[in-house]
């Protein structure tokens, strides 16, 4: 803030005439003079009060030559700084010469645009005009008058053309070249003016944020022309569904926004959101190919009572994110709860980045039991986050967020490096575990560092199992993934398919991976004790696995009954809370010393007697 006293002195003592004028957003024209200094009142003869509220004519006089006038209009429209020498009329009507410098200013707070005009009064005319004896001045000839009229007419024509040109330039700079809708720049200007109008008693309005789902896939599979055509068809639909009074803009690659005044009921907004979702959910054909597309929509409403109505666009974006993460091809209305969730997600993401730097992830171990001996055959390594404030966190609390921000591979690296130390400690404790099974993300599996880390770790690869989620190997059969699998095979690392039964892996796929172990997900294991269908499902997983020469692990064994049933069904290994929850390496050490690795009393198959009702 400039101190008032200094500002007043600038106003009083500056020798140049200074004027501040509010400019029109569209074409830079002067809307209203808002301020002038003393020097300006001296130069023109107008009092300050007579200047404020006037339009620009007070600065450029009413008798200005056409050419100069056009030059000024052009510069104003192009919103560029310029200096010009022109004649102006003072308040008394007398003509004088002035040099004017026009400087464009803008107010980032509300988007308004301003001109600062500084004026120096010139004592002489800029060009010396030969002095004439007034008595010798002749009346102009008819030819001269005709010539002047012609000149005026041609200047008028030029003036009209210039204005048309300026209008089309403004339109182009506001328009998205592909769809013809408003572009981001125009949207921002309009949005500010909708908010300003609302604060002045105008209508509240809704912001409807639209994003085409899987647009990248269309671009990648059908090509950019198809992508453009899809965007045009979405634009057409939005045009079709909106009124003249709404604003429809394309503000990014596949992002559109609608501003719509609120009607008497919220139904006009929800109805519109609904229709957008319905009408964009159609098969989209390009040349001879067809893909099914959809769009997600986020809606937020603003009103003048809100502390910060400008926030509404971000709110609509939050609602859009919600719609995307809850299945796409749907719309969501912004709620405060979404906002709170978003803040929590953001906090979680930044905490995760910090946790990666600080290495806050710890390996926990859960015993896996050999049914033949009842002894520990291996331990599954399960990550825990030792959060400095929230304590120990299980993977369900952070793995999805870690995948979203791309740090899953880093977490796996940290867990693996800590595993090496823990395993060395376990080995020294007197009862070493035969092997460890490590969960490995898709990102880590396509990173050549994994092989390097295994080789450097000092862990005998024969003691190492890499668990790969069924969903991962179905989706990621890339060259990098195959390369990793070959390298692991060469090193002698065991491959296990985790959570088998949750995806749709084909036998062909299984044969390509050649896993030695299949782990049956606990969602099938636990009900297999009571439910015939689950029992049949588990039975067929076991028979597929064993016929392909794989060993079978049943996860989620919580009771002796689970253990007995799964043993009787033919599983080779059992894992679950019944034998031990995931624990720190030190706890596992203590347990192993106590039970000498014996976690279960194995049952001979013929002695297995369980009845089911």
Q: Which stretch binds Mg ion (CB under 5 A): 61-69, 226-234, 467-475, 557-565?
A: 467-475
In terms of CB distance, is 99 or 349 closer to ligand C2E? Answer: 349
- Smallest gap, in angstroms, from Cβ of residue 577 to ligand C2E? 4
**Residue 582 binds to ligand C2E (criterion: CB under 6 A):** yes
Window 473-502: contact mask with ligand C2E (x via CB under 6 A): -------------------------xx---
- Smallest gap, in angstroms, from Cβ of residue 471 to ligand C2E? 10
Q: Is 383 exposed, middle or buried (0-12, 13-18, 19+ CB in 10 A)?
A: buried
- Residue 490: both structure tokens together: 């060469």
Window 373-392: contact mask with ligand C2E (x via CB under 6 A): ---------xx---------
Whether residue 72 contacts residue 101, with contact meaning beta carbons closer than 8 Å, is answered with: no
Whether residue 317 contacts residue 209, with contact meaning beta carbons closer than 8 Å, is answered with: yes
DSSP calls for 167-224: HHHHHHHHB-TTT-SB-HHHHHHHHHHHHHHHHTT---EEEEEEEETTHHHHHHHH-H
Whether residue 364 contacts residue 584, with contact meaning beta carbons closer than 8 Å, is answered with: yes
Window 454-473: contact mask with ligand C2E (x via CB under 6 A): -------------x------
In terms of CB distance, is 309 or 576 closer to ligand C2E? Answer: 576
- Smallest gap, in angstroms, from Cβ of residue 557 to ligand C2E? 6
Q: Which stretch binds ligand C2E (CB under 6 A): 23-31, 59-67, 213-221, 569-577?
A: 569-577
Give the separation between CA 236 and CA 238, rounded to whole angstroms.
5
Q: Which residue in the set 119, 498, 571, 592 belongs to the binding site for Mg ion (CB under 5 A)? A: 498
**Residue 379 interaction partner, one of Mg ion, ligand C2E, none, beta carbon < 5-8 Å per kind:** none
- Residue 213: both structure tokens together: 């789902």
DSSP calls for 390-454: TEEE-GGGTHHHHHHTT-HHHHHHHHHHHHHHHHHHHHHTT---S-EEEE--HHHHT-THHHHHH
Q: Which residue in the set 577, 587, 595, 598 belongs to the binding site for ligand C2E (CB under 6 A)? A: 577
Contacts of 603 (CB under 8 A, 6+ apart): 564, 567
Q: Which stretch binds ligand C2E (CB under 6 A): 55-63, 204-212, 292-300, 439-447?
A: 439-447
Contacts of 13 (CB under 8 A, 6+ apart): none
Q: Which residue in the set 182, 318, 332, 439 belongs to the binding site for Mg ion (CB under 5 A)? A: 439
345-374 residues near ligand C2E, rule: CB under 6 A: 366
499-528 residues near Mg ion, rule: CB under 5 A: 499
Q: Which residue in the set 182, 318, 439, 484 belongs to the binding site for ligand C2E (CB under 6 A)? A: 439
- Smallest gap, in angstroms, from Cβ of residue 572 to ligand C2E? 17
In terms of CB distance, is 69 or 584 closer to ligand C2E? Answer: 584
- Smallest gap, in angstroms, from Cβ of residue 606 to ligand C2E? 27
Neighbours of 268 (CB within 10 A): 14
- Smallest gap, in angstroms, from Cβ of residue 498 to Mg ion? 4
What phi and psi values does residue 484 have, to the nearest 5 degrees?
-60, -45
DSSP calls for 554-576: E----SHHHHHHHHHHT-SEEES
In terms of CB distance, is 261 or 367 closer to ligand C2E? Answer: 367
Cβ contacts of 61-64, under 8 Å, gap ≥ 24: 61/86, 61/87, 61/88, 61/89, 61/95, 62/89, 63/87, 63/89, 63/95, 64/88
Give the separation between CA 45 and CA 40, rounded to whole angstroms.
8
Give the separation between CA 402 and CA 417, rounded to whole angstroms.
18
In terms of CB distance, is 280 or 441 closer to ligand C2E? Answer: 441
**Residue 435 interaction partner, one of ligand C2E, Mg ion, none, beta carbon < 5-8 Å per kind:** none
- Smallest gap, in angstroms, from Cβ of residue 384 to ligand C2E? 8
Footprint of ligand C2E (CB under 6 A): 366, 382-383, 394-396, 399, 408, 412, 415, 439-441, 467, 498-499, 522, 555-558, 575-577, 582
Footprint of Mg ion (CB under 5 A): 439, 467, 498-499, 555
């Amino acid at each position: 803030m400039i101190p008032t006293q200094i500002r007043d002195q600038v106003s009083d003592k500056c020798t140049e005439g200074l004027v501040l004028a509010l400019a029109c957003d569209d074409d830079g024209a002067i809307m209203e003079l808002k301020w002038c200094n003393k020097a300006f009142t001296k130069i023109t003869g107008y009092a300050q009060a007579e200047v404020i509220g006037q339009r620009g004519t007070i600065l450029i006089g009413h008798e200005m030559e056409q050419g100069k006038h056009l030059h000024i209009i052009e510069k104003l429209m192009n919103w560029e700084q310029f200096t010009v020498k022109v004649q102006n009329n003072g308040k008394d009507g007398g003509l004088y010469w002035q040099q004017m410098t026009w400087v464009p200013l803008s107010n980032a707070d509300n988007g308004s645009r301003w001109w600062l005009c500084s004026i120096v009064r010139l004592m002489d005319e800029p060009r010396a005009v030969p002095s004439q004896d007034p008595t010798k001045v002749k009346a102009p000839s008819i030819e001269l008058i005709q010539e002047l009229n012609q000149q005026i007419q041609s200047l008028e024509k030029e003036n009209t053309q210039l204005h048309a040109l300026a209008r089309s330039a403004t339109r182009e700079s506001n328009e998205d070249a592909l769809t013809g809708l408003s572009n981001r720049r125009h949207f921002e200007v309009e949005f500010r003016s909708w908010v300003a109008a609302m604060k002045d008693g105008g209508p509240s309005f809704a912001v409807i944020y639209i994003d085409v789902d899987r647009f990248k896939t269309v671009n990648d599979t059908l090509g950019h022309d198809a992508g453009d055509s899809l965007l045009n068809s979405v634009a057409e639909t939005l045009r079709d569904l909106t009124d003249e009074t709404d604003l429809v803009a394309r503000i990014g690659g596949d992002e559109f926004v609608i501003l719509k005044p609120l009607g008497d009921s919220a139904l006009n907004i929800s109805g519109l959101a609904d229709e957008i979702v319905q009408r964009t959910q159609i098969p989209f054909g390009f040349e001879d190919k067809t893909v099914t597309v959809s769009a997600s929509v986020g809606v937020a409403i603003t009103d003048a009572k809100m502390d910060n109505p400008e926030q509404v666009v971000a709110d609509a974006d939050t609602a859009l994110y919600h719609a995307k993460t809850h299945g796409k091809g749907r719309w969501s209305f912004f709620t405060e709860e979404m906002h709170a969730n978003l803040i929590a997600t953001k906090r979680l993401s930044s905490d995760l980045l910090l946790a990666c730097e600080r290495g806050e992830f710890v390996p926990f171990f859960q015993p896996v039991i050999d049914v033949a001996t009842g002894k520990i055959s291996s331990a599954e390594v399960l990550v825990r986050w030792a959060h400095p404030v929230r304590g120990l966190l299980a993977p369900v609390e952070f793995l999805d967020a870690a995948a979203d921000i791309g740090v899953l591979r880093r977490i796996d690296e940290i867990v693996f490096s800590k595993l090496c130390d823990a395993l060395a400690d376990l080995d020294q404790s007197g009862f070493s575990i035969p092997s460890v099974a490590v969960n490995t993300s898709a990102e880590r599996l396509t990173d050549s560092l994994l092989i390097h880390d295994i080789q450097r770790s000092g862990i005998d690869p024969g003691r190492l199992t890499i668990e790969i989620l069924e969903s991962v190997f179905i989706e990621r059969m890339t060259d990098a993934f195959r390369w990793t699998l070959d390298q692991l095979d060469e090193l002698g690392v065991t491959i296990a398919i985790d959570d088998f039964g949750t995806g749709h892996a084909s036998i062909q796929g299984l044969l390509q991976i050649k896993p030695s172990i299949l782990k049956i997900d606990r969602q099938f294991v636990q009900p297999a004790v009571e439910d015939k269908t689950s029992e049949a499902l588990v039975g067929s997983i076991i028979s597929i696995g064993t016929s392909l020469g794989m060993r079978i692990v049943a996860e989620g064994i919580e009771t002796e009954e689970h253990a007995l049933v799964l043993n009787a069904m033919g599983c080779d290994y059992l894992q679950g809370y019944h034998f031990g929850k995931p624990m720190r390496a030190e706890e596992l050490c203590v347990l192993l010393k106590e039970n000498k690795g014996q976690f279960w009393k194995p049952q001979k198959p013929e002695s297995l007697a369980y009845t089911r009702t």
